Amino acid sequence: MVTLPDGTQYMPVTTVKTLAQATALGLPASAVGTASAPIFVPPGQDPQGTINSWSGNSISNNPYWFAITWALPSNNFKVADGPIYDAYGNFEYGATGQASGQFIDGTMTGMGDVLHLGTNNPINTQDIQSGVNAVANGGTVTVVQVHYP
């Protein structure tokens, strides 16, 4: 859940990107590319804590370190935690990049292309931008229990 400074709250959503995601969510194959789902947070993750860790510290000033951090297998949530967490990695990547203050519009998705080995799906770009927007608009991110569907 993202809470904006004026108290407005919204649930970030993604588009179901793969058959593995659709299957994990109990959706038919026709949901791929058309159905929306919440951006699920893997167990044990603290999205706002991660965002805060990139805001105003020394590693925030090093785009190389930022890219390396997000290229680590431990930040590949779809592999480590399951396909429904794919969007979370992209959302957090965008949110932490925005929090670091080092990246301007378009840079995050361009670096996302590199991290996805040049095959960045438009849904990845949407999820990255969702994270950028949450932080750019002064939002704080909290975890809520969502039962889907």
Task: Give per-residue pLDDT as tens, 63-85.
Answer: 777 777 877 888 778 777 788 88
Give the number of domains in the chain: 1
Domain limits for position 90: 39-139
Strands 36-38 and 13-15: antiparallel
Predicted confidence at residue 149, as pLDDT, reads 56
Q: Are 12 and 36 in contact (CB under 8 A)?
A: no
- Decide if 34 is inside a domain: no
Indicate the range of 12-16, 76-80, 96-100, 132-136 predicted with least confidence.
76-80
- Decide if 21 is inside a domain: no
Asked if the model's pLDDT at residue 10 lies above 90, the reply is: yes
- Decide if 31 is inside a domain: no
- DSSP H helices, the chain, are 19-24, 47-53, 63-71, 77-80, 86-100, 107-115, 122-136
- Whether this prediction's pTM lies above 0.75 is answered by yes
The band of 101, judged by pLDDT with boundaries at 50, 70 and 90, is: confident
- Decide if 70 is inside a domain: yes
- Decide if 13 is inside a domain: no
Backbone angles phi, psi at 26, to 5 degrees: 75, 25
Residues in the chain: 149
Compute the average pLDDT of residues 84-103: 87
% of the chain beyond a pLDDT of 70: 82
Predicted confidence at residue 121, as pLDDT, reads 79
Residue 121: closest CA among 111, 108, 112, 131:
112
